[in-house]
Amino acid sequence: MGIVSVSMPEDLLKKIDELVEVHDYSGRSEVFREAGRKLIREFQDQSLENRELIAIVTALFPYDSRAVETKMTELRHTHADAVRSNSHSCICDDRGCVETFIIEGDLTDVSEFVRDVEATNEDVQVEYSLFPVDSIQQPTL
Ligand SMILES: [Zn+2]
């Protein structure tokens, strides 16, 4: 593994150290590695422009959050053109719920959907994966 020296403002470094403490990172290096990976992923997203995409969007939220579940239903309807499927799963012992959406559209469609899910409220954690439709391999038989 390479070692680098980075200069940065004291207030930014202080916030990084708070992340290490609050989110239980092994140290500053782990925070910088994760930030780098996220940045690379964001730039890679630019290569997805003008391509048809499939996205798997997952939202995790507290059990029996009626307002969140109502919002998930609204999103399914307002993005009906892009939503290919949607499912709800309750985590055992009422520890939470998972809403999964399969979205088909261009990068704008997917970004708008993800942003709307993220905007539900601060209780909702959102993750997504993207696959360009043109990357699907044709059968060799
Ligand atoms: Zn549930």
What average pLDDT is seen over the chain?
A: 92
CA–CA separation, 83 vs 80, rounded Å? 5
Amino acid in position 26: S
Higher pLDDT, 141 or 27: 27
CA–CA separation, 45 vs 27, rounded Å? 28
The rounded Å distance from CA 1 to ligand 1 centre is: 43
The rounded Å distance from CA 53 to ligand 1 centre is: 28
> What is the fold, at CATH topology level, of the domain defined by 53-135?
Alpha-Beta Plaits (3.30.70)
Whole-number pLDDT of residue 84: 98
Rg (CA), the chain: 19
Strand partners, 102: 56, 85
List, for residues 88-119, the tens digit of each pLDDT value. 999 999 999 999 999 999 999 999 999 999 99
Ligand 1 is a single-atom ion; what residues have CB below 5 A from it? 90, 97
CA–CA separation, 70 vs 128, rounded Å? 21
Statement: residue 138 has pLDDT above 80: yes
The rounded Å distance from CA 98 to ligand 1 centre is: 7
CA–CA separation, 36 vs 20, rounded Å? 16
For the chain, what are the domain ranges? 10-46, 53-135
Residue 1 structure tokens: 């593994």
List, for residues 31-44, the tens digit of each pLDDT value. 999 998 888 877 67
Whole-number pLDDT of residue 26: 93
Higher pLDDT, 33 or 140: 33
DSSP H or E segment with residue 66: helix 66-78
